[in-house]
Structure 1
Amino acid sequence: MATDKQLSMAASAIALRGVRLFLSAGRNAMERRAQPAAEPAKHRPKPKPVVPGARPPQKVFDMLARTSKFNKHELEALYAMYRRLVTAAQGILPPTAIGQPPAKVDGIDQGTFRDVMHNTFDMITEEAILERIWITWDRGASGGEGALKFEAWVRGLSVLLRGTEEERRNHCFAVYDLNADGYITRDEMFVLLKNSLLKQPGDEDPDEGVRDLVELVLRKMDVDKDGRVSPEDYKDAVEQEPLLLEAFGQCLPSRRHALAFLKTLNPKPKDLRS
């Protein structure tokens, strides 16, 4: 019986993943076709050089070497990359309404963060998911507002690239828990899955298919049958079927893209930690 249950869960997870990826791919293709052509490089304004902000104290690097999964050499490479991202983003900010230079942002802004997720880690996922990933990265006492500072940049990448199974699972759950109340509810599942849906002409009730997917997920993940998925439900479901880890949208880079990124930090990077 246990084997039959595991096979049933695996089949359902594969079906869910296939439907979600199909819908997402169609929607992303439509959005790409709708986007205007990129402006030729020769007509783009050149970024203005910006003097980088103060380097964090050495004790910050020492602390991150102890608490993150990066060594000191990798942290230096991450800091150099961080400064390049901040400087490039600052250089393309428009002037203020009265013609004054834009206010300096000492950190990675949301637009730059989104570009990194898309272009570096190939996370072609729903905008709602990218928004949630941005919100869940720690930005200190600002309450989830403002730019991403160096320490938060390192801690977030530590989970994405070398996180333990528990860290990766907690990351995905936090992204899907839209109101941060500790549960993934029917309504939240509906919002997340609906964002993958590409509406076709003539569809009378496109939400019906989404509701069916929600019920399928609940049957497989709601272990205590209370109509919502708790962290314990999510943990049990993912342990039985790892494909359910990203059931509601891509929250993590693929192993291939993670390894490619790590190679830019260290000529001989350590293997990803499981």
Structure 2
Amino acid sequence: MSSSKSKTGRSSAQNIETSGTRKVHSRHTWKLESISHGKGQPVSRKAIQHVQDEVAKRKDKFHFSKQEIESLCTIFRHLTKSDRIDRPRFRDVLHNTFDMTDDILMDRVFKAFDRDNDGQVSMLEWVVGLNTYLRGTLDEKIAFAFNCYSLKGEKHITREEIFQLLKSSVLKQAGDEDLDESIKELVEITLKKMDKDHDNRLGDNDFSQSVKEDPLLLSCFGQVFANARRKAEFERVVEHMSEEVVFGQQFTQEQLAARKAEFERVVEHMSEEVVFGQQFTQEQLAAVFNY
């Protein structure tokens, strides 16, 4: 296959930087006071117990403690002020909290959380989804990412889907005039590297084997999971809240004020202006696909 060349002599595929789709999303500020003092609609003990009971029934391994589950329920209620998060609000959460910017993949992550396919994410679906999204094993994250990348919800990802995903997540560089041709080159590179059974598409086994050989390929078609910094910030929020949610634990006004200040410091970092697009240098992209 011939490669189009830029003025620098590199192939056009090598001149691509990947980036999230650049959209402006609304921003929302969290305040600990409304959580700590029950303003708005606090989470009932019954609702939390229901989530904990349902989690206990699940066969898949759970990675959050009871206290952390309660913290996630509290965050959920603070975000939505009801018992469901709709698609636009969920997209805001993905963008503002986890730095996601790709519209296609934000919708696919929403779909992965919305297990009953009713167009909303319940409190239980929120907790179960975050179990994999934040703390899943490699196998769990591979399955989650594959489901997001398989735009038709099938057991394989077609050439056309790979093209669509890459086109949604690349940023055209100056001097590379034929973006579609460059993306087609990347599609061929991807299939050559990952299509283990040579059927001209990526099955779930192809994807799993490829990621286990090279974990960087978990995000080869765009950002699905939170980046390390945002994940750590969210985990710190959960950790701090979980210290307060042991039933019957009492705090002085001074202790509560100190915790409030720490929480809001963490949230301030979470609310920093997002630099749109997860970008990779040419060298990083070349290293992933070995071209």
CA drift at 1:72: 1.2
Please give the alpha-carbon distance, in whole angstroms, between the structure 2 residues aligned to 1:116 and 1:207: 31
Kept in 1, the 8 Å contact 2:48–2:73? The answer is no
Distance 1:72 1:174, change over 3 A: same
CA contact (8 A) 1:139 1:149 kept: no
The AA in structure 1 aligned to 2:105 is I
2:203 aligns with 230
Amino acid at match of 2:121: L
Q: Secondary structure of the residue that 1:262 maps to in structure 2?
A: helix
Aligned to 1:113: 90
Q: Residue 133 of structure 1 is aligned with which of 97, 104, 109?
A: 109
The 3 A distance-change label for structure 1 pair 265 and 23 is closer
Please give the alpha-carbon distance, in whole angstroms, between the structure 2 residues aligned to 1:203 and 1:254. Answer: 28
Q: C-alpha distance in 2, partners of 1:203/1:161?
A: 36
| CA–CA distance in structure 1, aligned partners of residues 189 and 67 of structure 2 | 46
Q: 1:19 to 1:62 in 2, by over 3 A?
A: farther
Match of 1:56 among 34, 44, 47: 47
1:23 Cα shift?
3.8
Q: Is 1:189 the equivalent of 2:180?
A: no
| Contact 2:42 2:74 (C-alpha < 8 Å) held by counterparts | no
Is 1:154 paired with 2:127? yes
Task: Give identity over the alignment, percent.
Answer: 38
Higher RCO, 1 or 2 (CA under 8 Å, sep at least 6)?
2
Is the 8 Å Cα contact of residues 15 and 173 (structure 2) preserved in structure 1? no
1:7-51 CA distances to partner (integer Å, 9 max, x unpaired)?
Answer: xxxxxxxx98x866x2416x53xx55xx9x99xxxxxxxxxx965
Partner letter of residue 114 of structure 1? R
Between the aligned partners of 2:212 and 2:179, the Cα distance in structure 1 is 32
Verify the 8 A CA contact 1:73 1:266 in the aligned structure 2. no
User: What amino acid maps onto 1:78 in structure 2?
Assistant: L
TM-superposed deviation, 1:57: 6.3
Task: Tell me the number of residue pairs that the alignment of Structure 1 and Structure 2 aligns.
Answer: 216
| Counterpart for residue 272 of structure 1 | none
Q: Contact 1:109/1:146 (CA < 8 Å) preserved in 2?
A: yes
Counterpart residue identity of residue 106, structure 1:
D
Q: Distance in 2 between matches of 1:135 and 1:164?
A: 20
TM (normalized to structure 1)?
A: 0.69
Distance 2:41 2:211 in 1: 46
Return the alpha-carbon distance in structure 2 between the equivalents of residues 156 and 133 of structure 1.
Answer: 9
Q: CA deviation at 1:59?
A: 4.3
Match of 2:69 in 1: 75
Q: Which runs of 5+ in 1 are unaligned?
A: 1-14, 39-48, 88-104, 270-274
Compared CA separation, residues 263 and 53, structure 1 to 2 (3 A): closer
Task: Give distance in 1, aligned partners of 2:50 and 2:86.
Answer: 25
Instruction: Name structure 2 gaps, 5 residues minimum.
Output: 1-11, 28-38, 243-291
Q: CA deviation at 1:201?
A: 8.9
CA contact (8 A) 1:23 1:197 kept: yes
